[in-house]
Amino acid sequence: MTALSVNINKVATLRNARGGNVPDLLQVASDLQKFGAQGITIHPRPDQRHIRYEDARKLPEVVTTEFNIEGNPVPDFIDLVLEVKPTQVTLVPDAVDALTSNAGWDTLTHKAYLKPIIKKFQDAGIRTSIFVDPEVRMIEGAKEVGTDRIELYTESYATAYPNNPEQAIAPFVQAAEKAVELDLGINAGHDLSLENIRYFSKHIPRLLEVSIGHALICESLYLGFENVIPMYLQRLKF
């Protein structure tokens, strides 16, 4: 079964809107796991507009499943990850002022940059994953940089899914098949939702983990975390 990791950035955004500690990020992380989430994901950005570096340091107190820290591997981020030592680090090439992640790594152009960073994390016992677009040549490049896993950037799938699911999934199937051939673990994330997750997980071979934040948080405003988490888990069974 594909594991569900919940990105709690939006919870931090809500907390930061009023200051103080409501909602309590650590309590939410604890509750999500109690409701069935198999991992917690955070994506601290340099401006700390949602997740703060201090959140990353405190979350291991309550995360009993898998802890995944995403981000652009600038020096401060690298230092943070090496200090916290999460289960997994996911490298994302987002600009400092990016509203949200909007592209995968060019693993061919950035091979020399990524390779030593990935090795540094692996030497510290941290599993590495890198954010990539669903292109076979980028998957081949991911193998060359030495990462343990890839995370397929799924925005294009989510956008095209309502009109043509088969066309939307096709490049992701090809990319996943190449990853399997190269013995790379496969994660996925960005704009996956209750509407489109079942079709995606059904067609992607050896999908190990999905990281879902924005849609899951929005759906939970209506349905509640306690209901939404099992709904995702049910869809990930097929």
Q: Which residues are catalytic?
A: 43, 70, 190
CB 230 within 8 A of CB 1: no
Residue 61 carries which DSSP code?
G
Tell me if residue 6 falls in helix, strand or coil: strand
Helices (H), the chain: 9-18, 25-34, 53-58, 75-84, 111-123, 136-145, 155-160, 165-181, 197-203, 214-223, 225-235
| Neighbouring C-beta atoms of residue 13, cutoff 10 Å | 14
Is the four-CA dihedral 103, 171, 39, 108 of positive or negative sign? negative
Share of the chain residues as helix, strand and coil, in percent rounded to the nearest 5: 45, 15, 35
Tokens of 14: 């809500």
